[in-house]
Amino acid sequence: MSNVKIFVAGHKGMVGSSIVRKLKKKAGIKIITRDKKKLNLINQEEVNKFFKNEKIDQVYLAAAKVGGIYANTTFPAEFIYQNLIIQANVIHGAFSAGVKKLLFLGSSCIYPKNIKQPMKEEDLLSGKLEATNEPYAIAKISGIKLCESYNRQFGKSHGLDYRCVMPTNLYGPGDNYHPDYSHVVPGLINRFHLAKINNKKNVLVWGTGKAKRELLYVDDMADAAIFVMNLNKKTYQNMIFPNGFVNIGSKDEISIKNLAKKIKNIVGFKGKIKFDLTKPDGTIRKLIDSRRIINLGWRPKVTLSSGLKKAYKNFLEIK
């Protein structure tokens, strides 16, 4: 299929921008993007008009309101509302305009808080969610179920092929380095860098440092998204049956304490690390089982140490 028109929703975000960079290297593709000023994904009328006019062939739905523990607990209404509306508008708008292929990007926070590790696709909806990001998680679960439901009802009659991937914790170029609303890697990079240039004696890290996180470099995630989108339909369906989505992870698991030490060394901060025990750890462990996609030949390429160095380099470039 040549001259495929692909809409990347959320092209300025970390994942969306990486997908765009990857797609630009492929022949026979026309990438369609819109910033918020030209297309407000929360406005259903604008979204429907966009799809009707553009005649899109494929959609990568990477647009989302995202943030770390502080942002999720401070703005729960915004996290559930905006993500629900964006997903519903894009998925239904794409369907109404005849788009056959769509890839929805979720998050590993969809899994129950106290679930056996590593988390498998079949563990979805088998227990209570982590309270600090429950609204965001519910929105992402709804995105999975939207794709699943449209496939069930319209897969045969309309030839729909709406796919879902669940990435682990991501980091890398294009990340949000806000001091309060960022995820753990960009938050620590920003904190250690500011401490370094301001000659601070210590850096405060939330929680006990015992919580563990699996981390995946964003360009590896973009490769995985494109890999899944281009799988043979039967191969994809066999892989995700009966859960409707596939995990994307790295197996690069590290405690927050050791992650802080790594970032401290990469940034070159000479002071001490202190832990704020009054702040939450969030989920103690979040390791996902990625055997399904790995068994089909996808592998992450960027090691954690290399990825963190690349992330800090990007941070310095945009500052």
The catalytic site residues sit at 136
Q: Which ranges constitute the DSSP H helices of 198-254?
A: 218-229, 233-240
Report the alpha-carbon distance of residue 183 to residue 170 in Å, rounded: 9
Q: What are the φ and ψ backbone dihedral angles of 70, each rounded to 5 degrees?
A: -60, -45
15: its two tokens: 């994942």
CB 212 within 8 A of CB 255: yes
38: which 2 tokens?
A: 């030209």
Q: Extract the tokens encoding 85.
A: 């509306």
Q: What span, in angstroms and rounded, lies between the C-alpha atoms of 10 and 32?
A: 11
Give the 3-state secondary structure of residue 256. Answer: helix
User: How many whole angstroms separate alpha carbon 266 and alpha carbon 262?
Assistant: 6
Residues 12 and 63: their CA atoms lie apart, in Å, by: 9
Quote the CA–CA distance of 185 and 177 in Å, as a whole number: 9
Residue showing tokens 């009328």? 45
